[in-house]
Amino acid sequence: MPSSVPAARPAAIAPTGHRRWAMGMPFVMAPRQPWCWPIVAMPGPGSLGKVPAMQHLAFCLVVALGLGTVAIAARAELPERLSQTGLDGAGVRAFEPRFALWSDGAAKRRWIALPPGTQVDASQPNAWRFPVGTRLWKEFSVDSRRVETRHLVLGADGRWEFASYVWDGADAMRAPARGQVLTLPDGKRYDIPSVGDCIACHAGARSPVLGFAALQLGPAVPALLREGLLRGAPARWVTQAPDFVAINAAEHAARGYLHGNCGHCHFDGGVPVPLRLALDVGGRPAPVDGAAVLRRAGTRNPYQQMPPLGTREIDPQGLALLNRHFNPEILP
């Protein structure tokens, strides 16, 4: 470790949202969860945030449920109201990923806004890079009722800020950084993620923007190129949408589902387990242990479930799709 990195200080157990010191920098304690969390290097008295290799994942801590918390860097606050974030402004466009993340049946809408005159750098087909000032929103609705809108903003320092907004009438208010639990009209529990939850999924991915990507947008990519919103993309994308190679429709659907739900962690250089679920443009899916995938997708035991965050309910359609691919011989 470079000598400029300050010595680690113990990250004491504390209620979520409390500021503490770890690695010589201020952090907010994230909720207690039984999985591996990324630690994001942020500006502070120390210089860890200046080390490129440490900008998203320097370590991984496996935290036992109820036994500890993981330090997540404190960030500047985004606006209090969703109406102040620019969602209704010029240049905001809707988009829809092909392989949506399962969110316990919630309906979702998504938008992105690029600063005027800027482009997305698509020179790395599997890891797009976004211009400073990029903003994204994702709205969650349950039973046709808007519940939450999540917001991402790429700051001038090159790091992403995250916030969730809870709907109340005609506007939505920013939720606490520690997260929030809602009770819906039907009595169902709804979890608003903490900033730490957001970081856990986005910060360690090949690109922090998970849904606006080559394979996720697929057939929409040529139009983006013609509009001049992408630069550095392969020339063939003008007429041939990016995709991966699948032997049949069942494999395409199943491996696309795993890419959208699991690939942001399970890629070369991601979580240190032998399970590669991310897809590459133009490539074949990596071999995987289908039984292990089905076992983890088919449980909500918090120590075993996949994905580990953002879901309390098994996805029946997704599980059936995976079964059709991994166990075709036992299906009618």
DSSP element (H, E) containing 153:
strand 145-154
Pairwise CA distance, residues 185 & 202, whole Å: 30
Q: What are phi and psi of 8, to 5 degrees?
A: -70, 140
Task: Per residue of the chain (332 residues), give pLDDT as tens.
Answer: 333 333 333 222 223 333 332 323 333 333 333 334 333 333 333 322 333 333 333 333 333 233 233 344 445 579 999 999 999 999 999 999 999 999 999 999 999 999 999 999 999 999 999 999 999 999 999 999 999 999 999 999 999 999 999 999 999 999 999 999 999 999 999 999 999 999 999 999 999 999 999 999 999 999 999 999 999 999 999 999 999 999 999 999 999 999 999 999 999 999 998 999 999 999 999 999 999 999 999 999 999 999 998 999 999 999 999 999 999 876 55
Cα dist from 127 to 100, 106, 142, 217, 303, whole Å: 18, 27, 31, 13, 29
